[in-house]
Amino acid sequence: MTTAHHHSIHPLDDALALTSAAPGQYEGRTTPAYWNMVGPFGGVTAATLLQAVLQHPDLLGEPLSLTVNYAGALTQGPFTLQATPVRTNRSTQHWTLSVLQPDAEGAPVVTTTATVVTAARRETWGAADTPMPSVPAPAQCKAIPPAFPVEWLRRYEMRPVAGSLPAQWDGGGESSLSQLWMRDAPARPLDFCALAAMADIFFPRVWLRRARQVPAGTVSITVYFHAGSALLAQTGAGYLLGQARAQEFRNGFFDQTAQLWNEAGALLATSHQIVYYKE
């Protein structure tokens, strides 16, 4: 192996690469490393939107919340990302974002919209009201190969604790709860973009609850960041424990909540998403 391999860019950093084209406008492109069945993994799209805010020269503070609405399919190739700080207050900043790609006639069409809130955090009283579940350590949980032949699953090391995909797709599911240890593959120090992507790592809860692999896809996801950059730095390249479950399945849509803790038991982020499903 040549020394060049030791300095190659991580697949996530490659996927997040943006070029500034004008104030608040960036050019990017999809990468094969995070391809899903019909487009990029939604988590990497969310991470890319957040990346635009983080490298914007007018940024105030650090990410507090990220909401991504998947309006249409992002196709393979280049895209334009627009990020606008619509209002800056003393301690919070509010952003609107959109991703555009040309249609068949070359006209720009919005595929994704988003809002981001950043904040200048300050030291206050705090408490952990959702403690990390008592689970076996990552080393005690077996790493599993990708469950499906899609490339983005190869970008994560996953060690299930409970609630794996059904062994039989027989309609006999009883619970939508999953717990698993996870980290980037290859391992990478945690940052806000990686955390945003991992908040969307969970398979659709309807697959577990029904034990049927029905068509499903995220319509909108919100990630709340409870950790600042110092806590992410302390977490480093360690594992995160992710827990996800649904709350209601009705009329073609369900919601799922998720929590992400580091190995020390600190809650780093929570997320909520609404997902469509078909019979």
CA neighbours within 13 Å on the CB side: how many for 220? 9
Calculate the CA dihedral of residues 114, 266, 235, 264 and round it to 10 degrees.
Answer: -160
Residue 129 lies in a domain: no
Residue 85's domain spans which residues?
3-119
* pLDDT given at position 104: 87
* pLDDT given at position 236: 98
* pLDDT given at position 7: 64
Residue 234 lies in a domain: yes
Report field, pTM of the whole predicted structure over 0.85: yes
211 and 111 within one domain? no
Q: Taking the mean position of all CA atoms in its chain, how far away is CA 270?
A: 11
142 and 237 within one domain? yes
Residue 69 lies in a domain: yes
Give the residues of the chain that fall short of pLDDT 50: 1-5
Long-range CB contacts (within 8 A, 24+) of 136-144: 136/161, 137/263, 138/181, 138/239, 138/263, 141/180, 141/181
* pLDDT given at position 132: 97
168 and 45 within one domain? no
- Size of the chain in residues: 279
177 and 51 within one domain? no
CA dihedral sign of residues 186, 192, 195, 199: negative
Tell which residue, 212, 276, 205, has the closest CA to residue 242.
205
- Residue indicated by tokens 């805010």: 53
Distance in angstroms (rounded) separating the CA atoms of residues 271 and 260 = 9
What H or E segment, with its residue span, contains residue 103? none
76 and 32 within one domain? yes
109 and 235 within one domain? no
Residue 142 lies in a domain: yes
CATH code at 218?
2.40.160.210
